Amino acid sequence: MPLPSPVQPLRCGNPDCNLPEGGRCARLSEFPEPLADCPDLARETKSSSETPATTAPWSGRHLDPVEAERLLWRTPARLVGVLGPYNAGKTCLMTSFFLQLANGQRGAFPYRFASSLTLHGFRELMEHAGRWGGGKGEDRIVPHTTVGADTNKPRHFLHVGLRPKDLRDDRHIDLLLSDLPGEWVKGWTGYDDATSSERMSFVRRCDAFILLADASALMAQGGGVIDDETALLIRRLLEATQDVHPRPPLALVLSKFDGIIQSIEPPPSEKRTERSAWGTLGKRLRHTWPALEEARRAGVSIEVFPVSAFPCPLNQGQPIGVLDPFTYVMKHADSRERWPPLEVPIPEAARGFATMRRWRDEHEHTA
């Protein structure tokens, strides 16, 4: 006897319906039996020759807004906004961070690598970085995060699943990192329109921010533009999170520091929040540094990090300082108060599993 055709997944044309995900029919008052009566509800239709594009409910590349939102609701995920102007090195920083974790190089970072819902996306970035030969005139180390034409998915997130260093601690922590085009960030800082606000609405949910400024570009001719954009972004974040308590911490990453290391030596960690300790580079931050001080007075924890995500090709050396800003922001993100888990009371007339649970509790107390 041939096997019956597999039952195809449900779909619904009503945007308020969540019955296909195991929720409630939006038209339950009209159709008490929605599976049989609701005209909006239907089964997916696929011919036997069709094969699914993926076997997982996610693409493996960047998470779209719906996937990211579901993850944030389902777990106590940490969301870190990695922001900065165009070509600041945001994607390079996240790629280098993932490479170190995946290779077991944790340093002081309090977690070890466990999983990734965007593993395919990271793999593509790592393969591109592996082909980079180190020449300044060669292709980019990793592809530039493009603006794209799909305005229905305006946000992009990379995912890293983490477990604590202690092998006896089996918790799984989801870390979401925003990977946005620099053009979107610049548009949001300069204009307060509906599109920009929608694209960047996730900043109010962020547990921390990592802001990147290209140190080599700051020291070059025209570096004042980078300084202006970074200062404007800091103040824009302050405005967007003014009613968020506690205020998310901010790590300023001076990226591509290998380009200026011959002329400027990074100060010791205890001096990095002092502008004078950065010498000529500190003088170039004539708008950014006052913005940092303004954020500090508003209650934002601030730290500054010199970083070189790819100072040389992968087979010739290690990144410099990549784990430090992530260690800093995760320490603060982990200390934020979380919502307590819901404890649903057992009704008096409960039956089934609820009755068994109440009987077990009563039995344990009388034993």
Going by C-beta distance under 8 Å and a sequence separation of 6 or more, which residues neighbour residue 41? 10, 11, 12, 17, 19, 20, 25, 34, 35
* pLDDT tens by residue, 133-167: 887 654 578 887 765 544 445 458 999 999 998 88
> Average pLDDT in the 213-238 region?
94
> 135 and 4 in one domain?
no
Domain presence at residue 340: no
Domain presence at residue 348: no
For the chain, what is the domain count? 2
> 234 and 159 in one domain?
yes
> 121 and 47 in one domain?
no
Domain presence at residue 166: yes
> Average pLDDT in the 303-308 region?
96
> 123 and 30 in one domain?
no
The overall pTM is greater than 0.85: no
Given a cut of 90, is residue 49 above it in pLDDT? no
> 207 and 74 in one domain?
yes
Given a cut of 60, is residue 356 above it in pLDDT? no
> 69 and 44 in one domain?
no
Residue 81: give the domain boundaries. 65-335
> 70 and 43 in one domain?
no
> Alpha-carbon distance 105 to 99, whole Å?
8
Domain presence at residue 358: no
Specify the long-range contacts of residues 319-325, CB closer than 8 Å, at least 24 apart: 319/96, 319/99, 319/100, 320/257, 320/258, 321/257, 322/93, 322/96, 322/97, 322/100, 323/97, 323/100, 323/105, 323/106, 323/107, 323/108, 323/109, 324/108, 325/210, 325/251, 325/253
Domain presence at residue 360: no
> 69 and 35 in one domain?
no
Q: Which residue has the higher pLDDT, 43 or 50?
A: 43
Asked whether 88 and 212 are in contact (CB, 8 A), the reply is yes
> 98 and 40 in one domain?
no
Q: What is the pLDDT of residue 364?
A: 62
Q: What is the average pLDDT score of the chain?
A: 82
> Average pLDDT in the 177-194 region?
85
The percentage of residues in the chain with a pLDDT greater than 70, rounded to a whole number, is 77
> Alpha-carbon distance 344 to 347, whole Å?
9
Q: What is the pLDDT of residue 50?
A: 44
What count of Cα atoms within 13 Å lies in the side-chain half-sphere of residue 269? 6
Domain presence at residue 346: no
* CATH code of the domain in which 245 resides: 3.40.50.300
Domain presence at residue 363: no
> 191 and 309 in one domain?
yes
> 25 and 95 in one domain?
no
Over its C-alpha atoms, the chain yields an Rg (Å, rounded) of 25
Domain presence at residue 162: yes
Q: Which residue has the higher pLDDT, 288 or 13?
A: 288
Please report which helix (H) or strand (E) contains residue 82, including its range: strand 78-83
> Average pLDDT in the 249-277 region?
94
Q: Which residue has the higher pLDDT, 46 or 132?
A: 132
Q: Which residue has the higher pLDDT, 217 or 56?
A: 217
> 271 and 247 in one domain?
yes
Residue 42 is encoded by which pair of tokens? 């239907």
